Amino acid sequence: GSSQEESQFEEFEQIDFLGDRHVRFFQRTLQVLPERYASLETTRLTIIFFALSGLDVLDALDVIDRNTMIEWIYSLQVLPTEDQANLSRCGFRGSSHIGIPYSTKGPGVLHPYDSGHVAMTYTGLCSLLILGDDLSRVNKQACLAGLRALQLEDGSFYAVPEGSENDIRFIYCAASICYILDDWSGMDIQKAIEYIRGSLSYDSGFGQGAGRESHGGWTYCAIASLCLMGRLEEALSQRELDRIRRWCIMRQQSGFHGRPNKPVDTCYSFWVGATLELLDVFQYTNFDKNRRFILSTQDRLVGGFAKWPDSHPDPLHAYLGLKVHPALNITQRAFQHVQQLQQTWRGSTGSCSRQH
Amino acid sequence: MHGRVKVKSTAQQEEEKRKEREKKLKVYLAARDACFSKRKEGIWDEGALQVTQQLLSSNPDFGTLWNYRRETLMHLETVRDEDEVQKIYEAELSFLESCLKVNPKSYGSWHHRGWVSNRLPRPDWARELGLCDRCLSLDDRNFHCWDYRRVVVKMSGVPVDQELAFTDRLIGSNFSNYSSWHYRSTLLPLLHPESPEEPAPPPRRASSSPPPSPQSRSHRVCEEQLLKEYELVQNAFFTDPNDQSAWFYYRWLLGRAEREEIISCMFVSREEERVSVAFSRAVNSAGLLLVLDGQPQRVEWRSVHPRFKHSPVWICDLAPGTISDVTNEHNLTVHWMEKHTHRDCALYTGRTESWCRDSATDQELFRSDLSVEKTSVLQSELQSCNQLRELEPLNKWCLLTIILLMRALDPLGYEKETLAHFQTLEVSRAKTRPLDAEQEVGSLTSSFSFFLFSPSRQEVDSMRSAYYGDLCSKFMIENTILKMEYAEVRVFSISDKSLTTLCHLDQLLLVTHINLSSNQLHRLPPQFAMLQCLEVLEANNNSIENLEGVYHLPKLEEVLLKNNKISTLADLEPLASCPKLKRLDLRGNPVTQVANVEAELTALLPSVVDLLL
């Protein structure tokens, strides 16, 4: 009846996008984090990335001091020592939690337990790009050496050279690093593709590795990696791609969930939505229902988005509720910046990038 | 980071919390610094374990500390006897249990437990499985726990049939346990493989072709067991038809391996002195070889559109004069090196063209992913699903599965029913797509009138209506290809079928006439350029605004695009690449209103003598 229509209209009017609140949310993220985030200290750079890229999407990077931020990120670079003995440990670290003295230039300081972390190198590079930096102070060869040291025989990657769990997430980080640095000598692509294919499950979603349950996040890592490598249609047949599309399309309930019979969660609007975009079928999603769900998780007071309505907002979900470039997970603007940088690099060396 | 529900608190409570936090922080920093200095000095003793324990209890994701702990434990292994080591590791397992109670999803904790289990002198696998059971009883979707369980099973040699029985129990008590179904899918092929003797794994290929996926032959299940599984899964979806788990598992059971990769068609034309080749999947041109009358030819292979580095169709031009003389007979062979396969085509005297192909029927191209085991099995499955449909007429999983089974059994025979089921699925698409006043009355499909007179229709899965529209289009195209082949003609006609997209264009290499009129197409995509033999293109009464794919079609003479959405001269540029284009009908398109359009088109398309605006 018409009263039903009216209340629906009211509901729609109320659910508006509170850009300013989100800007403030991200600003606070860049200052102090609440106690419950203590366990994220070792991965602080990823939180910074969510906040910076979030501000970028909202076109609000001018609320922060870019130069200070850039310096801080460079202070997290694990640089080669004088004798270059630590090359296989280079990259970016997550924060200062190990206690390395602050420094933004080399040579590196030898510390037996200091090393880059593949996800920090990825988010560190992205953060620099977002801030408009030209990556000239990144020791690219050292980063790539550090990356090579992380890949296993089966094609997957550790996060750190000391060892950790190994799975498809870190393949995505590695592929992003190689893509940004325009140099695929950082990884054995063929092995990585084999690991990715081996992670394809019976229902045509991807698990974290062989035999593991399909999941929206790992499916994103698989597809985005193959796209960055330029090997999507080589690695997967048309039938496989169609089945993967089907699995992903069935993840939309209102927003998206990450696995069947799980509740919808804001972050999967990105993981699954971006996958569908990379597979050229984003038009199969229902844009309105997705948007309405995401906005329902918006925190009207504090800003940011949460996993679910009536939950605490956090930087990850706040960021993934916004729209970005599907393969690299940064804004179009930042993506164009890296493309321009790559043109410059290729121009100056007089040859094209060292691709497979 | 994930999900905590908000709780309100008073100002006083806030202050108390703050003081507590500061205290904790001081303790934390002191412990952390103690840890690092110990490690730096190379101290690996029980004290080290104690200090790291404190920190890890509050932050199990501090990876470096787990590594320090592992170093300590490994060192202790060398200086203590076996019983003591056993005790130390058992204490480690207890510690890990308390960590997991606090955060059952910590990568660090689970990884460490796996490491410990591997090094324990006398592991207690029953205990480990018990831990998994308890953890899963709290959260049966915790994939960390499932992954750990798989590791334990592997390390301890738990027999596969025991694990299968485990999934029986879980599924029996809760059909919608997707993780259990998933686990079952990995166990079943181990226990009941399709081929009793596993063939030796293929030698590592140097080529770039993809290795077999888990869905390929060696992972499939033998038929006897399949039938039992069908029964299990039917129980599940009859009990709860709305739960996805059983349906996805069912789909996998019904599914089959990828088909053989071949050169599906080869076409030779004297006039253009050109060879066109279609493959069963997209390839790149490296590794293609053309041999003419026993002589390898130096040719440049190109895909049909500059966009494609990978394409299922490749073309090459022979040197002028090579095959143009119609009194000469020639034998051509294309070699696909990577797959060690080739295709021959004989070009006879007096013939201007020739081809050689496997038909879609030969290739069983459209068996729609399903197993060809036995028709009787598929029919019995279809019967069960139809029974369910009587109880649950609007269940989308049921409808989709029925469509799948019908296509496997008899795609042409079941065409009407398939269309009806799609209408049920995508009902809101028909409702919401506005009727264009300019479209002829005849373009109203039967589905529209169906809805005008059926007000009680409910929406089954309107959210995915765009997907279903394209899926239905795909099946209608497949059926049309089959009909075309049975009739043994090169005319492809599919009008008035609500087509929203084009696909399988690689199957239309030989088509001379195509009729796509009165559908809902928006574009003729670059892949359309695979229709290398096309002479007549009819696509009136669509919504076409993009003609990218009408590109370098050497035999194209007639293009009929009445009542579409072509709006600029730029949209028509691809047509300039078709040298034989004589007749072009653009009536009812916005572009006809562009200033000076006739003159511009005459300049753009000089070969066109019959232009209708």
Under an 8 A CB cutoff, do A212 and B248 touch?
Answer: no
Partner residue facing A40 (CB), from B1, B67, B369: B1
Q: Mean pLDDT, to the nearest integer, of A304-331?
A: 80
Q: Burial level of B233, CB count in 10 A (0-12/13-18/19+)?
A: buried
Q: Nearest-CA residue of chain A relative to B205?
A: A190
Among all residues of chain B, which has the CA nearest to that of A276? B467
pLDDT at residue B462 in the model: 85
* Secondary structure (DSSP) of B288-351: EEEEETTEE----EEESSTT-SSEEEEEEEPPTTSS--TT--EEEEEEEGGGTEEEEEEE-TT-
Binary contact (B248, A165; C-beta < 8 A): no
Q: Calculate mean pLDDT across residues A243-252.
A: 95
Residue A230 Cα, gap to closest chain B Cα (Å): 11
Cβ of residue A294 closer than 8 Å to a chain B Cβ: no
Best of B145, B248, B461 to mutate (most A CBs within 10 Å, chain A): B248
Which residue intervals of A156-305 are DSSP H helices? 168-181, 189-198, 216-229, 232-235, 238-249, 266-278, 287-296
Mutate to test the interface with B, among A109, A166, A202 (most CBs of B within 10 A): A202
- Residue A308 sits at the chain B interface (C-beta within 8 Å): yes
Question: What tens digit of pLDDT does each residue of B329-375 get?
Answer: 999 999 999 889 999 999 999 999 999 998 877 767 776 556 555 78
| Three-class DSSP category at B203 | coil
Predicted pLDDT at A311: 78
Task: Give the pLDDT confidence of B145-199 residue by residue, as tens digits.
Answer: 999 999 999 998 889 899 999 999 988 888 778 999 999 999 988 888 766 544 4
- C-beta separation of B415 from B483 below 8 A: no
Residue B580 to residues B551, B553, B559, B576, B598, Cα–Cα distance (Å): 12, 9, 11, 10, 19
- Closest listed residue to residue A251, CA positions, set A232, A229, A272: A272
**Within 13 A of A25's CA, how many CA atoms are on the CB side?**
27
Whether pTM exceeds 0.80: yes
Point out the residue among B111, B146, B186 whose CB comes nearest to the CB of A164: B111
User: Are B6 and A202 a contacting pair at CB < 8 A?
Assistant: no
Using an 8 Å CB-CB cutoff, list chain B residues near A250.
244, 464
| Cβ within 8 Å, pair B281-A237 | yes
Q: Indicate yes or no: CB of B40 within 8 angstroms of CB of A112.
A: yes
pLDDT score, position B196 = 54
d(CA A80, CA A283): 47
Query: Could you say which residues from 17 to 36 on chain A have a Cβ atom under 8 Å away from some Cβ of chain B?
Result: 35-36
**B264 sits in which H/E element:** strand B263-269
Q: Mean pLDDT, chain A, as a whole number? A: 88
Please report the number of interchain residue pairs, chain A to chain B, with beta-carbon separation below 8 angstroms: 157
Q: Which of B59, B70, B182, B229 to mutate to test the interface with A (most CBs of A within 10 A)?
A: B182
Res. A45: pLDDT tops 90: yes
State pLDDT tens for residues A223-238: 999 999 999 988 998 8
pLDDT tens figures, A64-85: 999 999 999 999 999 999 999 9
* Chain B residue at shortest CA distance from A306: B3
**ipTM for this model:** 0.87
CB–CB contact B245 A284 (8 Å): no
Per-residue model confidence (pLDDT) at position B577: 96
Express each pLDDT in B466-511 by its tens digit: 999 999 999 999 999 999 998 999 999 999 999 999 999 999 999 9
| Average pLDDT value for residue range B308-327 | 93
Give A190-204 as a DSSP string: HHHHHHHHHTB-TTS
Query: What's the number of CA atoms in the CB half-sphere (13 Å) around residue B141?
Result: 13
* pLDDT reported for residue B28: 74
What are the CA-CA distances from residue B350 to residues B325, B343, B347, B354, B489 (Å)?
A: 9, 22, 9, 11, 21
